[in-house]
């Protein structure tokens, strides 16, 4: 029984069967990648995990709780954090404030009318946010406005915000999309570090094979809305079905 169990998920958009009978199980403590050519249904599947889309049939269970019909903040409070394709951060606020917001959300839940004490008096939050910034190597940028960060640093900050919440599952949606090779390698190293240090379960949706093969312990290949192969990386590379899907011979 995995931490994230996807069973018989179907999703149809008008005449397009975006997902058909998807079954997937993400084991706790592993890095599980979901790959596939354009239009394979990767993003649709991810949107079913995070409350953006409801599948027509099937179930998505996280730790024994159904995620279907829940709002994004409820899913997050269950322990699922999400990293976006383009880093989503609070651009008007400082780096430190960004991380503190994540810490407050973890401590206080989805709403708390905490209007009297000052932020600077919340020492537990301050210490934790500092630690997170040290962990992702950004403590020297704590006072900077988040909008002024480089793309790679924005990604680091987003990771720090997710980690501050001690997630049980980290969802990454093409974390290196549009990045230069050097930034991509930095991100891979960061994710590896995090995985080694904390053993967080990760589900990665990715296009870039280089990223997938350097991180994932298990790979699911999606083609035309259906998982065609699920295996360890070594066996995926040479798999005839995968090559067929990527080279475009899947539908005759």
Partner 1 sequence: MFGLDKKDSGLLLMVIALTILAPFILNPFPENSAMAQFNAGYPDLMQRLVIFGIFAIGFNILFGLTGYLSFGHAAFLGVGSYAGIWMIKLLTLNIIPAIVASIIVAGLFSLLVGWISLRRSGIYFSILTLAFAQMSYSLAYSVLTPITGGETGLQPKVNDPRILDAALEEGVTPRANLFGMFMNDSFELSLGGWVFTFNAGYYISAILMVIAFYISIRIFRSPFGLMLRAVKSNQQRLNYTGVESRPYTLAAFVISGMYAGLAGGLLVAMDTQAGAERMFWTASGEVVLMTILGGAGTLIGPVLGAGFIKYFENIVSKINETILQAWFSFLPDGLQDFFVAIFYPFIGKGWHLTLGIIFMLVVIFLPGGLMEGGQRLSNLFRRNKDTDQGAGKSQPAPAE
- Shortest distance, position 121 Cβ to partner 1, whole Å: 8
Instruction: Name which of 108 and 140 has its Cβ closer to partner 1.
Output: 108
The least distance separating partner 1 from the CB of residue 85, rounded to whole angstroms, comes to 12
Nearer to partner 1, 165 or 184 (CB): 165
What is the per-residue DSSP string for the chain? Answer: --SEEEEEEEEEETTEEEEEEEEEEEPTT-EEEEE-STTSSHHHHHHHHTTS---SEEEEEETTEE-TT--HHHHHHHTEEEE-SS----TTSBHHHHHHHHHHHHHH-S-----SS-GGG-HHHHHHHHHHHHHTT-GGGTTSBGGGS-HHHHHHHHHHHHHTT--SEEEEESTTTT--HHHHHHHHHHHHHHHHHH--EEEEE-S-HHHHHHH-SEEEEEETTEEEEEE-HHHHHT-HHHHHHHHT-S--
In the complex, least distance from residue 133 CB atom to partner 1, rounded to whole angstroms = 16
Interacting residue ranges for partner 1, rule: CB under 8 A: 50, 71-73, 76-77, 81-82, 84, 88-93, 97, 100-102, 104-106, 108-122, 125, 143, 145, 161, 165
Residue 118 CB, nearest approach to partner 1 (Å)? 4
C-beta of 38: minimal distance to partner 1 in Å? 24
For residues 57 and 150, which CB has a smaller minimum distance to partner 1 in the complex? 150
Q: Looking at beta carbons only, is 122 or 187 nearer to partner 1?
A: 122
Is the CB of 91 or the CB of 235 nearer to partner 1? 91
């Amino acid at each position: 029984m995995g931490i994230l169990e996807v069973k018989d998920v179907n999703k149809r958009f008008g005449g397009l069967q975006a997902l058909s009978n998807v079954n997937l199980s993400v084991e706790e403590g592993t890095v599980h990648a979901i790959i596939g050519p354009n239009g394979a249904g990767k993003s649709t599947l991810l949107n079913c995990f995070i409350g953006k889309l409801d599948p027509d049939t099937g179930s998505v269970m996280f730790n024994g709780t159904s995620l279907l019909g829940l709002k994004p903040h409820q899913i997050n409070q269950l322990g699922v954090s999400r990293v976006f394709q383009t880093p989503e951060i609070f651009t008007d606020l400082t780096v430190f404030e960004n991380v503190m917001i994540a810490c407050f959300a973890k401590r206080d839940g989805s709403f708390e009318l905490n209007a009297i004490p000052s932020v600077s008096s919340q020492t537990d939050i301050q210490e934790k946010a500092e630690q997170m910034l040290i962990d992702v190597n950004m403590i020297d940028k704590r006072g900077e406005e988040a909008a002024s960060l480089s793309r790679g640093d924005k990604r680091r900050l987003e990771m720090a915000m997710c980690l501050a919440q001690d997630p049980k599952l980290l969802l990454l949606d093409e974390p290196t999309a549009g990045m230069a090779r050097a930034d991509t390698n930095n991100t891979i190293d960061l994710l590896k570090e995090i995985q080694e240090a904390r053993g967080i379960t990760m589900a990665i949706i990715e296009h870039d094979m280089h990223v997938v093969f350097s991180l994932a312990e298990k790979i699911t290949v999606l083609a035309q809305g259906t998982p065609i192969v699920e295996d360890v990386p070594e066996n995926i590379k040479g798999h005839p079905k995968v090559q067929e899907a990527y080279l475009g011979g899947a539908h005759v």
